[in-house]
């Protein structure tokens, strides 16, 4: 997919003269119109809820299907457009799998705690937005809240205090490379999930898990004392770190701290964490002049794999969430999201449709020739997260105020979280890197060839 996308990008430079998507961030109608176009491009190009992976595979993997569903749930909540709701349910029922634990057989070799976590956070979104559940879904006990609670129970059961004093490992299967790594996104999603379940249900057990997980990350220093957030830490002793900084790690911590701040009715500790994480996020990822969010680790060096262009989507989503449940941050966060909404919209002139969005928001206002699932999702989320405050939609509910999803705090799925190992699928992470790199090189060469052929072709025609 990325291969042909880049190919299209190459052709595009030669053929396209498209108008940018109009966006006036002061107008709710304008936000709705812009996100409608961007969502359509996302759904048409990258999403098939009936397929096994839900996304064009490879280079995109199953976790991104959960990420898309989360973006579309929020899209519905923030714009009121239910065009895609039926397909959200289709995709959800596939992801949940017959075992009701967000561990489908097809993913059994490769699924990590972070993959499962992305889906579970999506179902928490659906729970907190009161996304409509179908009767069939309820009958098969695949309601959003009970599945999030199930994942919570399974992941709490994987908490490993035999090494490094706690934490979740990245991979679930001991045979996978990554079983020896405790990464920030797995722990950060578990933290956020625990915190949001605490806020929603008021059950102290979830709050205890949130606090335990967050404090473990501070203590072991995957979050350093100056709030530099690393990618994760290696067994056996968690003294060695992968230092790369990714925007979604900052985002998931932020959202979890905001939910805990709300749950504790404004406890000073959580406010300090929010404030420090926000400062670190701005200093690390926001361009000092334009204010554009940059995925610093890979964006300007053109080394992003197929996952990474989507990370800005989650930072945006979770900054928006933070502004909702810790409203004192609103005046700080919202101007920055609005700036980025404008910058992102200005890049959406790519692809055959002329509405594909680019990767780099700091080099605009123009399409940078790089399109893909993550680019499209990021633009959608940063724009729609400016919406809730210009119209009375998009609020979060809880169990006692508007929440309808059924609770089942004891859920564990039908096989108690054990993976079925009889799978043809191999661990994908390493394969992913190889494919992406080869694709990019290949695509760059082919784009060059096409440019040359077109240029020669044009001359040839002219001579005739």
Ligand X SMILES: *[C@@H]1O[C@H](CO)[C@@H](O)[C@H](O)[C@H]1NC(C)=O
Residue 410 binds ligand X (CB under 6 A): yes
Q: Does the footprint of ligand X cover residue 62 (CB under 6 A)?
A: no
> Is beta strand 240-242 parallel, antiparallel or unpaired with respect to 232-234?
antiparallel
- The answer to the question of residue 301 lying near ligand X (CB under 6 A) is no
The site for ligand X, by CB under 6 A, has a size of 20
Site for ligand X in 203-232 (CB under 6 A): 203, 205
Q: Where are the alpha helices (DSSP H) in 16-61?
A: 28-46
Considering the complex, state which of residue 324 and residue 363 has its C-beta at the smaller distance from ligand X: 324
Near ligand X by CB under 6 A: residue from 17, 162, 175, 265: 265
Q: Please choose, out of 41-49, 56-64, 236-244, 307-315, the segment that lies near ligand X by the rule CB under 6 A.
A: 41-49
Task: Quote helix, strand, coil % in the chain, to nearest 5.
Answer: 55, 5, 40
Assess 77 for contact with ligand X (CB under 6 A). Answer: no
**CB of 122 within 8 A of CB of 74?**
no
In the complex, the smallest distance separating the C-beta of residue 88 from ligand X, rounded to whole angstroms, is 10
Shortest Å, Cβ 295 to ligand X: 28
Query: Measured between alpha carbons, how far is residue 180 from residues 157, 187, 293, 325, 434 in Å?
Result: 17, 14, 31, 35, 21
Interface with ligand X (CB under 6 A), residue from 108, 324, 347, 436: 324
Return the range that interacts with ligand X (CB under 6 A); candidates 43-51, 175-183, 188-196, 232-240. Answer: 43-51
230 or 324, CB closer to ligand X? 324
The window from 15-23, 82-90, 284-292, 298-306 that contacts ligand X (CB under 6 A) reads 82-90
Q: Which of 9-15's residues contact partners 24+ apart within 8 Å by CB, and which partners?
A: 9/350, 9/351, 9/369, 9/370, 9/371, 9/447, 10/369, 10/443, 10/446, 10/447, 10/448, 10/450, 10/451, 11/450, 11/454, 12/350, 12/351, 12/352, 12/367, 12/369, 13/369, 13/451, 14/451, 14/454
Query: Where are any strands of DSSP class E within 405-458?
Result: none
Residue 325 C-beta: closest distance to ligand X, Å: 4
Note whether 43 binds ligand X by CB under 6 A.
Answer: yes
85 binds ligand X (CB under 6 A): no
Query: Per rule CB under 6 A, is residue 401 in the interface with ligand X?
Result: no
Distance CA 323, CA 83 (A): 26
**Contacting residue, 83, 141, 276, 423, with ligand X by CB under 6 A:** 83
Among 5, 87, 297, 322, binds ligand X (CB under 6 A): 87
How many CB atoms sit inside 10 A of residue 23's CB? 24
Counting Cα atoms < 13 Å in the Cβ hemisphere of 4 gives 9
Choose one: 3-11, 46-54, 214-222, 371-379; the region binding ligand X (CB under 6 A).
Answer: 46-54
| By CB under 6 A, residue 266 contacts ligand X | yes
Closest to 91 measured CA to CA, from 73, 110, 76, 115: 73
Would you count residue 326 as binding ligand X (CB under 6 A)?
yes
Element (H, E) at 240: strand 240-242
Contact between 76 and ligand X per CB under 6 A: no
List of residues contacting ligand X (CB under 6 A):
43, 48-50, 83-84, 87, 153, 203, 205, 262, 265-266, 324-327, 396, 409-410
């Amino acid at each position: 997919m990325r291969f042909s996308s880049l190919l299209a990008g190459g052709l595009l430079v030669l053929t396209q003269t498209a108008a940018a998507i109009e966006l006036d961030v002061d107008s709710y109608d304008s936000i709705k119109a812009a996100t409608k176009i961007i969502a359509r491009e996302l759904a048409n190009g990258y999403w098939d809820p009936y397929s096994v992976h839900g996304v064009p595979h490879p280079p995109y993997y199953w976790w991104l299907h959960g990420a898309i569903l989360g973006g579309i749930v929020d899209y519905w909540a923030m714009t009121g457009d239910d065009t895609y709701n039926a397909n959200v349910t289709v995709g959800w029922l596939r992801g949940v799998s017959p075992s009701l634990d967000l561990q489908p057989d097809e993913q059994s070799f490769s699924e990590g705690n972070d993959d499962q976590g992305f889906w579970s956070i999506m179902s928490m979104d659906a729970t907190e937005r009161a996304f409509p559940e179908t009767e069939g879904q309820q009958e098969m006990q695949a309601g959003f809240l009970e599945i999030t609670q199930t994942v919570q129970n399974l992941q709490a059961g994987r908490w490993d205090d035999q090494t490094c004093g706690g934490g979740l490992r990245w991979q679930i299967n001991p045979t996978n490379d990554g079983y020896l790594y405790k990464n920030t996104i797995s722990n950060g999603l578990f933290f956020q999930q625990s915190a949001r379940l605490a806020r929603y249900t008021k059950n102290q057990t979830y709050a205890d898990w949130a606090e335990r997980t967050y404090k473990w990350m501070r203590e072991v220093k995957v979050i350093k004392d100056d709030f530099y957030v690393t990618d994760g830490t290696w067994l056996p002793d968690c003294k060695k770190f992968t230092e790369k900084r990714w925007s979604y790690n900052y985002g998931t911590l932020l959202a979890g701290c905001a939910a805990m701040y709300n749950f504790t009715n404004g406890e000073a500790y959580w406010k300090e964490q929010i404030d420090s994480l926000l400062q670190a996020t701005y200093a690390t990822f926001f361009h000092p002049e334009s204010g554009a969010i940059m995925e610093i680790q890979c964006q300007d060096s053109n080394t992003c794999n197929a996952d990474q262009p989507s990370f800005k989507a989650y930072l945006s989503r979770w900054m928006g969430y933070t502004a909702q449940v810790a409203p004192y941050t609103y005046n700080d966060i919202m101007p920055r999201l609005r700036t980025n909404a404008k910058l992102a919209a200005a890049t959406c002139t790519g692809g055959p449709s002329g509405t594909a969005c680019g990767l780099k928001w700091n080099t605009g206002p123009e399409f940078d020739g790089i399109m893909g699932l993550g680019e499209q999702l990021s633009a959608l989320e940063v724009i729609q997260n400016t919406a809730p405050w210009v119209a009375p939609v998009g609020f979060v509910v809880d169990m006692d105020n508007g929440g309808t999803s059924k609770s089942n705090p004891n859920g564990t799925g039908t096989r108690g979280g054990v993976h079925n190992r009889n799978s043809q699928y191999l661990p994908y992470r390493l394969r992913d890197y190889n494919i992406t790199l080869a694709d990019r090189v290949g695509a760059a060469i082919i784009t060059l060839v096409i440019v040359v052929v077109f240029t020669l072709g044009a001359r040839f025609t002219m001579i005739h």
